[in-house]
Structure 1
């Protein structure tokens, strides 16, 4: 076994590898960019070395710099994590050439899987089921149209190189083929530098089921059962679970055998994932092999009781697989979701900023947290905006779902916006509960998973009561420390000129200002809102638990109040199923809260780097015309003209780093 390894990654996966290495007595070396000098993986590692600037191209994608650090510090092996250089065959080859062990598959295996077209042909030859399609070299439009018509519709056009959901189009009739082909080729060329495509029969309402495989250098290859990842948005996984509620025992056995066959076809060593698309009739077809550890590997660890990173280390050190196929267990049910700094209300726009508050459930036998940040850390614009992975495990699927709902209810993130509310709605939706979701359901019905437009009145009343009680406690505390603790002026609900004990509160919720007026104190109130008056009786707040009667109905809520003062912070009320997050503001604050920008300005929706400027002062532009492109969180955002007009100013050039809400283009009035 190794004495010291270097982790060529950052964030959650780097912290994850460090935990296993430490348990095995292996020293760890971290590398970090300028933006990550204070990151958790740097603090957890035994040693850490800088490798360049904030952008991945300046740091985590600099293979030569990473290898130089490994050689200088005496690391015997490099773990690539996932993303960055993890599936880069040239890097794996360079690591081995430097006399260092690459903790992953051989470069030759990666290259065989680097092209979707080549991989599909290889798997077909090996006897692994593949989707009917065309993978030929002739990419002329006439040939592709003829092949598409022969395959039949619906079909999918896919970029032959790359991934991440880019360069993919679904075509449902022959007349739509050529326009979609041209669009797909442009996107593929821009994202991957090559515009070759392949054609596949599109499986309607498919399930996405993947098999975890492992191979060693002694000729052994096994699978560790499946994970289902059918809950997806724009081809990105949202919820992963094991075992799949869709598979029968026979189908599980057949898919496992096919996955092992696929691994053997490329002489696979170490951890990998064979991904299949599965039709409603149970027919399954090879998609690709991810030649690395997957983000969702914890669900496999939970149901098998194994540490996959430990297996990676042992296999890379030359040991045989620790277990044979018949010794792989499958106990209970595990589910994983990912907490992201993103704004579902704004099309899941990635976010960034300081985590002023990060509260996650305490890990125990049923709840696992894999995170790369802690409260006070910053989610930067340069990398994936994942905050943490939340994994639950229990005896069966209904109990695991119940654990997940409870764990999500305990999560609080203050700072960047997050997807917690979206996930809470997801895990209660009937297609998830009934296990009938397919890979396209979220994209077809996204509105079903978004918060209701109207504010829930009980949640709003609960939040208001919690703030009233907090005001009273603060007033009592201040009075107790004053020279006149019994002064009537120290009472929060005391009589004032013009009204008798009337208190007004204002909140902002999704850009809307909400005002409420209350009479009473000590847990008994009359609250006016939107033309109605509600009776609140017996309110008690202790340890974030609020119990009260609303118009005679007993209710209980969880309250998280970031400040007890009249303005600032965040106030959240949760009823066990839904949450309401409010920004308390002063009654006298009436400026617009609906977001920056206007008809004459184009602003940066988030911090980022300007990569393309397509307009200049004096240009006439049409509404919706692309003016700039900024890059942030590993994605590009197109900024378009809010109306037709003439450009007055362009305030950024390619290469500039800009802050959120920065005005980049103005139009003439």
Structure 2
């Protein structure tokens, strides 16, 4: 096992990796921007180094600075977390050239899967189902219109280098197609540095289902079950669960084996996720996430496998300690991403100081967080406060437990999407497992949200007041105890003089 690793990330995921390291006896190095100098993750690590000013381009995306800290501290490996440089082939390559182990797949695999066109082609060769479409890069509008007519509308125009829901647009007519091509090219060029686009058939009413994989360097590759990630806004996930409500043992085996086939085709090693769209009884390859997923916690809860620890062990060259037959799905788990954002204002970020904070707890509740009361959420990065996960013996219990946990969660000082989550979980279609990637629009979630938001605001104000009264009482007791101890100390000193 490694003696020391560097975590090239921030917030809750940095702490998540550090916790695994602490249990394995591995020393940790944090890198932080000036905006994160007082962040919890920077204090939690064994060593911490500032790598630049707040903009991520000058800190968390600064490859040279991160490699320099790794060399200076003697870190044997770097864990990239998710986001930032986690799927950056240049960063993985820089680690390899510096003789530092990148805890993830090879730079070659990352680069190959970073292009959706290349990934699609590889999956076709591997015999994995792909969304109907055309895998060619679109060079001109005439070709695009010809492809559109052959596939049939609606279509999805995609940036080949896209990710995180960026660089995608649904079109229903040839006129919309030509406008979308120009728009997506511009977005792709400015965001990813690659203006290549392609076209697929748009699947209406799809579900987003993904398969977690683990692969070692000895050729073993396993799937750890499935996750449903259909509750999304602007193609970004908000609620995830394991297993999917529609999953059967047969479907899980088919999709799992397809994911393993995909991973072996590209020579994948370490933890990764193969994402699929599911529609009308069929599933289609979407993409490979060559990193640890935000929602990995729900898979850990239903399998009992610590995915981060396995990442470290695989990166050390160890063989996976279990086989496919050992993987068992127990119960149901749900994750809500708790973000500092205003769902009533188009989910606008809500940075600022957390004046009161009380996370949920109790049976079956897991909170992966990087904040605390008094913490200032900076405006420079993702607005995630925490990942709230629950486990239940079945889906019904998991939903009830999540509702209870959301009720307990108190964040005062910034707006959060907790009311949004409470609204979604109260909808009958969610309880029934009738989910699609259009769930928010189909069920007019935002209209029902306002009433819940007002109720939550009043409840948080009441609980905040109670917490403030409690803190005042604790402070008063502490002052009294301090006075008593000082008096006793003076008495003892007087007695010793006599």
When normalised by structure 2's length, the TM-score is 0.90
**Partners of 1:214 and 1:220 in 2: CA distance:** 8
Query: 1:139 Cα shift?
Result: 1.4
Query: 1:346 Cα shift?
Result: 1.1
Query: 1:455 Cα shift?
Result: 6.5
**Partners of 1:178 and 1:100 in 2: CA distance:** 46
Match of 2:121 in 1: 121
Query: 1:97 Cα shift?
Result: 1.3
**Partners of 1:285 and 1:330 in 2: CA distance:** 23
Contact 1:229–1:237, Cα closer than 8 Å, also in 2: yes
**Partners of 2:213 and 2:102 in 1: CA distance:** 18
Query: 1:193 Cα shift?
Result: 2.5
**Partners of 2:396 and 2:452 in 1: CA distance:** 29
Distance of aligned partners of 1:455 and 1:384 in 2 relative to their CA distance in 1, 3 Å threshold: closer
What does 1:295-444 align with in structure 2 at a 5 Å threshold? 295-362=294-361, 364-444=362-442
Query: 1:138 Cα shift?
Result: 4.6
Contact 1:234–1:443, Cα closer than 8 Å, also in 2: no
SS of equivalent to 1:417? coil
Q: How far does the alpha carbon of each residue in 1:562-584 deviate from its partner, in whole angstroms, 9 at most, with x for none? A: 3899xxxxxxxxxxxxxxxxxxx
Match of 2:486 in 1: none
Distance of aligned partners of 1:53 and 1:414 in 2 relative to their CA distance in 1, 3 Å threshold: same
Contact 1:170–1:202, Cα closer than 8 Å, also in 2: yes
Match of 1:595 in 2: none
Contact 2:276–2:286, Cα closer than 8 Å, also in 1: yes
**Partners of 1:413 and 1:454 in 2: CA distance:** 13
Contact 1:29–1:45, Cα closer than 8 Å, also in 2: yes
Q: How far does the alpha carbon of each residue in 1:76-109 deviate from its partner, in whole angstroms, 9 at most, with x for none? A: 1111101111111111111111111111101111
**Partners of 1:454 and 1:395 in 2: CA distance:** 29
SS of equivalent to 2:166? coil
Match of 2:76 in 1: 76
Q: How far does the alpha carbon of each residue in 1:591-636 deviate from its partner, in whole angstroms, 9 at most, with x for none? A: xxxxxxxxxxxxxxxxxxxxxxxxxxxxxxxxxxxxxxxxxxxxxx
User: 5+ residue gaps in structure 2?
Assistant: 469-498
**Bigger radius of gyration among the two:** 1
Match of 2:54 in 1: 54
RMSD: 2.0
Distance of aligned partners of 1:561 and 1:123 in 2 relative to their CA distance in 1, 3 Å threshold: closer
When normalised by structure 1's length, the TM-score is 0.68
Match of 1:506 in 2: none
Aligned: 1:560 with 2:463: yes
Match of 1:554 in 2: none
Match of 2:142 in 1: 142
**Partners of 1:65 and 1:427 in 2: CA distance:** 43
Query: 1:425 Cα shift?
Result: 0.7
Contact 1:426–1:449, Cα closer than 8 Å, also in 2: no
**Partners of 1:564 and 1:24 in 2: CA distance:** 36
SS of equivalent to 1:85? coil
**Partners of 2:467 and 2:64 in 1: CA distance:** 52
**Partners of 1:255 and 1:57 in 2: CA distance:** 38
Query: 1:163 Cα shift?
Result: 1.1
Q: Judging by fraction of residues, say which structure has more helix.
A: 2
Contact 2:7–2:29, Cα closer than 8 Å, also in 1: yes
Query: 1:374 Cα shift?
Result: 1.0
Contact 1:233–1:443, Cα closer than 8 Å, also in 2: no
Query: 1:247 Cα shift?
Result: 1.8
Aligned: 1:110 with 2:137: no
**Partners of 1:203 and 1:344 in 2: CA distance:** 27
Query: 1:174 Cα shift?
Result: 3.3
User: 5+ residue gaps in structure 1?
Assistant: 467-543, 545-557, 566-669
What does 1:536-555 align with in structure 2 at a 5 Å threshold? none
Figure out how many residues of one structure are paired with residues of the other and give that number.
467
Query: 1:437 Cα shift?
Result: 1.6
Further displaced range: 391-400 or 428-437 = 428-437
Distance of aligned partners of 1:64 and 1:394 in 2 relative to their CA distance in 1, 3 Å threshold: same
Further displaced range: 263-272 or 91-100 = 91-100
Query: 1:185 Cα shift?
Result: 2.2
Q: How far does the alpha carbon of each residue in 1:46-101 deviate from its partner, in whole angstroms, 9 at most, with x for none? A: 11111111111111111111111111111111111011111111111111111111
Q: Judging by fraction of residues, say which structure has more strand.
A: 1
**Partners of 2:177 and 2:282 in 1: CA distance:** 26
**Partners of 2:326 and 2:387 in 1: CA distance:** 28
Per chain length, whose mean CA-contact separation is higher, i.e. which structure has more relative contact order (CA < 8 Å, sep 6+)?
A: 2
Q: How far does the alpha carbon of each residue in 1:178-232 deviate from its partner, in whole angstroms, 9 at most, with x for none? A: 2222222222223223222111111110000000011111111111010000111
Contact 2:95–2:101, Cα closer than 8 Å, also in 1: yes
**Partners of 1:284 and 1:380 in 2: CA distance:** 40
Distance of aligned partners of 1:453 and 1:434 in 2 relative to their CA distance in 1, 3 Å threshold: closer
Contact 2:424–2:445, Cα closer than 8 Å, also in 1: no
Distance of aligned partners of 1:449 and 1:305 in 2 relative to their CA distance in 1, 3 Å threshold: farther
Match of 1:550 in 2: none
Match of 1:96 in 2: 96
**Partners of 1:167 and 1:102 in 2: CA distance:** 28
Distance of aligned partners of 1:96 and 1:385 in 2 relative to their CA distance in 1, 3 Å threshold: same
Query: 1:265 Cα shift?
Result: 0.8
Distance of aligned partners of 1:62 and 1:407 in 2 relative to their CA distance in 1, 3 Å threshold: same
What does 1:507-656 align with in structure 2 at a 5 Å threshold? 559-562=462-465
Aligned: 1:6 with 2:6: yes
**Partners of 2:404 and 2:291 in 1: CA distance:** 32
Query: 1:112 Cα shift?
Result: 1.1
Distance of aligned partners of 1:325 and 1:563 in 2 relative to their CA distance in 1, 3 Å threshold: closer
